[in-house]
Chains A and B, each alone.
Chain A
């Protein structure tokens, strides 16, 4: 039997397998604490990209202009004329009006953050003290990997071709992806609201659980 993998499906599978595998390895090697440490910056980055993406595009363009100016006009006596004549003032690394280019920038930033976070946790995290800790880290790692792929997929170029209900919460027009066949409509909230709620909730649960007092039977 021959299986034809469409580019969109292939891309989906690669992202899903890579995200779950990497996250599971981190969970296995660094336990559930390492997973939590890794997950917070990932979600925060995702939220910041959603809320402040435009500022990031401006920052990337400004930095690009600075580098161009430095390489083209640093030796010139009249830097202003040089900048205008060499096109530095109008140069742009990312066209803000192009969704593909901005999405590519977001993808690069997000993937870099994920890789750096995983490397940081692997390098500086502690080995789990027991098999149970490793097991819990692995379970959380698998779940975390799925969530990571969920956040990553909407940034990919083939996203529109994938008829899956993944990553659709980021845009109202993709609502049919969340709930195909549902006749109603709902304004899907900004992803940063969800990420903020998630961080507050996880923080609350961790604090609340740590404050639980053991019962008499547990103390004995």
Chain B
């Protein structure tokens, strides 16, 4: 089985190419949506799961989401599916895209590339985070099985975006909206 960081790098590469093709004004709109989704998941994800769990207890008489046998898998999938859904919506159509076109020439290509890389890092890093904190529950499904490689543990896991950006999300989301309005 290939190491997880390879998949991570491939995903970032794919999003970088997408960024170059689409242009960074559209990519910045996606970044805004991603940051808003992260804010929602980090601040409200657990509350949503708690409400769902309390609702389901009425039917199955036990906590399925928070304490059941597959609770790690369910929680991890919940976070990842919500996030993927938001990402898909943000890439579909114009949505929050910034008005205008990128500058021509190498500068425009470089900015497109960087914005694509940033989005790739945020998307694949967030997926990794919600696998990591639940001890990679996808191994129940026969997918990736830990341990991570030494390189990933030393250099990549500390750079996972969610804990890195969490203290600043409340600033970043309005900042992106303000920049969008100014544009």
Interface membership of A99, Cβ < 8 A: no
Interface membership of A139, Cβ < 8 A: yes
Binds B, one of A54-62, A63-71, A105-113, A202-210: A202-210
Contacts of A202 in B (CB 8 A): 172, 175
B111 touches A211 (CB 8 A): yes
Interface membership of A7, Cβ < 8 A: no
B179 touches A143 (CB 8 A): no
A147 touches B170 (CB 8 A): yes
B103 touches A211 (CB 8 A): yes
Interface membership of A28, Cβ < 8 A: no
Main secondary structure of the interface of A (DSSP, over half): helix
Interface membership of B115, Cβ < 8 A: yes
Sorting the interface of chain B by its residue count into under 10, 10 to 19, 20 to 34 or 35 or more gives 35 or more
Interface membership of A87, Cβ < 8 A: no
With A197-B164, A209-B179 known, 15 other A-B pairs at CB within 8 A are: A43-B168, A132-B181, A139-B178, A143-B174, A146-B170, A147-B171, A151-B167, A183-B134, A184-B134, A194-B164, A205-B31, A208-B28, A208-B111, A211-B102, A212-B102
Q: How far is the CA of A167 from the CA of B175 in the complex (A)?
A: 20
B173 touches A186 (CB 8 A): no
Query: Top 9 closest A-B pairs, CB basis?
Result: A212-B100, A184-B133, A143-B174, A147-B171, A146-B170, A194-B164, A189-B158, A184-B135, A182-B133
The interface bits of chain A over 167-194 (1 if a CB of B lies within 8 angstroms of the residue's CB, else 0) are 1010000000011111111111101011
Contacts of B176 in A (CB 8 A): 205
Interface membership of B99, Cβ < 8 A: yes
Main secondary structure of the interface of B (DSSP, over half): helix
A186 touches B129 (CB 8 A): yes
A143 touches B175 (CB 8 A): yes
Interface-centre pick from A187, A194, A205, A214 (highest chain B CB count, 10 A): A205
Instruction: Please judge, given known A-B contacts A32-B178, A201-B118, whether A144 and B163 are in contact too, CB under 8 Å.
Output: no
Q: How far is the CA of A147 from the CA of B183 in the complex (A)?
A: 24
Q: In the complex, what's the smallest C-beta–C-beta distance from A12 to chain B, in angstroms?
A: 16
A147 touches B168 (CB 8 A): yes
Q: How far is the CA of A132 from the CA of B103 in the complex (A)?
A: 28
Q: How far is the CA of A161 from the CA of B183 in the complex (A)?
A: 44
